[in-house]
Structure 1
């Protein structure tokens, strides 16, 4: 019987995984500079966390979650996103009591959604996200957006577009909600069943519907920006001011609502305009969620964050033809001739590795010519040739594979020599 990988998942093999490592290490380094600390939460949580935290009216909760019962009949869900779990940990572990606030966290890990697989979108995907909890300062909104833009630009992406919007505070959203209901209710029967349910649950979600996006009422729906009160207007103005001060270009899009129920005030998306990237251009999305901690049993805590798919990021890099500077090859490949030399190579190889060199040798008892071919396949910078004669004279021949030059080095000096040449 043969087995195949489940639809919507992928094997990331050597040669490709190095790109992932480079991107993830770049993200970790940025977080270190911005003072975001890593958090690792469980792969699965109680289903109610996502129902309450993500929102009952969202497509994620209604259609996309991998939910099952454990052996005691409890409803468990593989995490579809990282914010709810991070805020749950923030509340449960009382991180809000720490003297230093805001609490700035990041995560990198697999998420799971049952949706139609397509380019850069999988049912198991890796998400990088950050969350800043405990500050109502619009400057932290600008910082979060800046970190996301910085990551893409550090990796070399240029065809980027940042769009922002304000969803307002609770007073502004309430006024907008009533206007949306009045706008859609007379003709709600023309919309899909999901939108009909959302009319009373969360009419803002109607604006995010993919099925009915071309309906004429969508283009004439009242804008949230028309209902922002004085405080919300000032907040949104300050976010734009700080982005401009950071040299970040953006567009205001009143139609940007994001797909989760917990957002308020700032919402944003970063998109790729690269030719050939695909119909779905969104790379990253995020926003402010000041009521989420309370929703899952914690104190009133403001928060803002974003999440992005590593798969989508790599697809954008490919679309722009960007090659990541992945270090390939080994520093030294040991070629042996004779049984004594072969035995001595085992400890020599180990000592090279302990000294920080990337080193390899033959394990298939190949002839000398075949060992040199293997060194080429490993893209070796140097080849160390050790035969029984060299061993008797306590020397080793070192060949520079780029220049073709060769010289003999004392066996006890070979590691020092290679470190000077490669490190």
Structure 2
């Protein structure tokens, strides 16, 4: 074939065989979020650019290098969302959700866009599940947010993850830390990449998150934020750790985690794996107590996490985690002749109304080709309709695995009779 184009670099098609696995994961995500009292929010795929400049931070790689930004026909600067938190917070403020009962607990599933070097586990269009909690400054809220991610991994049978935990303090204690970083990195200014040289005065913590090997190597011996925490931030972090200990959630302190977005304060965390090579961060989040106010709202604490679904699927594949196989078809109705084809449509419609998956021939194929198709789609049962079956008003339904057959009436009671036959067959198999 001479295709006029292919899927853009850094994006992917999710085909029918794969989408079932996505649906399985999405069901687990929704269930866990609901059990923790979170409600779904859906925000636009694009926002005004200043939302991300103010919320995410103009010194971050995301804003400086990775955003898909363009001008619309009205001359407004528009950006495809690079992450979900800023949009959710904008919606919280615009619609007055912050004035309702607190805490406000929101979850979302969204496609996000970042212009990065496309590679396995790092796409330009990626899919993110996130939770956001607004209104609680309590350390137990931090532990609860982390426990949600832990519960998701447990339900999906994912193993071998490491929870890495840090505190990056508040604006008060970060002032002293910023000065210490400026003094340290100032010694190596000429060796830093061009981006980090500009960060040195404005936001030196961003240097710790730089992807440059040279900057990363220099940053290994930089001062630790944990040595600069104020008493309040230190007490908060200790309570988070204590709550995780009580929950039995193991963790490692990693004082180099700063996350890639400027809105974070105090607790930051990542769930990492060794099964995906360099793209080892599966989930990341923390606290961002200044974000609501930064976007024009009242002073309000907030926290949450983002979980990459594309990378999550890669991890489950790497760990050979099997997804439940759902039947593609409960009953395939083969037909001989136009009258039988019409009847097969009627019976299939009745089965679908009773929440069963039914298929029939809508290509006018011969019987042999129809039965081959029934095998290809994994039909659990098959039935052949012809003139004899129509005259007798009954047909034989065959179990495609065992070969057992049952005669059923092909009248208004057909769906009920088929459901009863299937229950009997399942009971016999169980016994």
Task: Establish whether TM, by shorter chain, passes 0.5.
Answer: yes
Residue in 2 that maps onto 1:410 = 409
**What does residue 258 of structure 2 align with?**
257
Q: Is the 8 A contact 1:82 1:129 kept in 2?
A: yes
Structure 1 residues 232, 65: CA separation in 2 closer, same or farther (over 3 Å shift)? same
Which sections of structure 1, spanning at least 5 residues, go unmatched? none
Contact (CA 8 Å) 1:396, 1:414: kept in 2 or not?
A: no
Q: Which residue of structure 2 lines up, in the alignment, with residue 12 of structure 1?
A: 14
Matches within 5 A, 1:310-321: 310-321=309-320
Q: Give how far 1:220 is off.
A: 2.0
What is the CA distance between 1:338 and its match in structure 2?
A: 2.8
Residue 343 (structure 1) aligns with: 342
Q: Please state if 1:127 is matched with 2:128.
A: yes
**Counterpart position of 1:111:** 112
Inter-partner Cα distance in structure 1 for 2:218 and 2:25: 42
The change in CA–CA distance for 1:102 and 1:390 in structure 2 (over 3 A counts) is same
How does the TM-score come out when normalised to structure 2?
0.95
Please give the secondary structure, in 1, of the residue aligned with 2:151.
Answer: helix
In structure 1, distance between residues paired with 2:336 and 2:408: 17
Contact 1:141–1:304 under 8 Å retained in 2? yes
Q: Is the 8 A contact 2:347 2:410 kept in 1?
A: no
Deviation (angstroms), 1:187: 2.5
Deviates more, 1:187-196 or 1:313-322: 187-196
Deviations 1:210-243 (CA, angstroms, capped at 9, x unpaired): 2145665422211010011211111101111111
CA distance in 2, matches of 1:23, 1:207: 33
Map Cα deviations across residues 168-210 of structure 1 (whole Å, 9 max, x no partner): 1221111111111111113212211111111111111111112
Match of 2:427 in 1: none
Q: CA RMSD in A?
A: 1.4
Match of 1:55 in 2: 57
Return the alpha-carbon distance in structure 2 between the equivalents of residues 179 and 142 of structure 1. Answer: 30
Shift of 1:365: 1.8
Offset at residue 246 of structure 1 (A): 1.4
Correspondence 1:21-420 to 2 at 5 A: 21-98=23-100, 100-213=101-214, 217-274=218-275, 277-412=276-411, 413-420=413-420
Q: Does the 8 Å CA contact 1:288/1:304 hold for their aligned counterparts?
A: yes
Partner secondary structure for residue 220 of structure 2:
helix
Residue 64 of structure 1: CA displacement? 0.4
State how far apart, in whole Å, the 2-side matches of 1:200 and 1:421 are.
74
Secondary structure of the 2:312 match is: helix
Residues 327 and 380 of structure 2 are in contact (CA less than 8 Å); yes or no, is this contact kept in structure 1? Answer: no
Q: Secondary structure at the match of 1:128?
A: strand
For residues 409 and 311 of structure 1, the distance between their equivalents in structure 2, rounded to whole angstroms, comes to 45
CA contact (8 A) 1:22 1:326 kept: no
SS in 2 for 1:240: helix
Deviation at 1:417, TM superposition (A): 2.7
CA distance in 2, matches of 1:76, 1:409: 60
d(CA) in 1 for partners of 2:184 and 2:360? Answer: 72
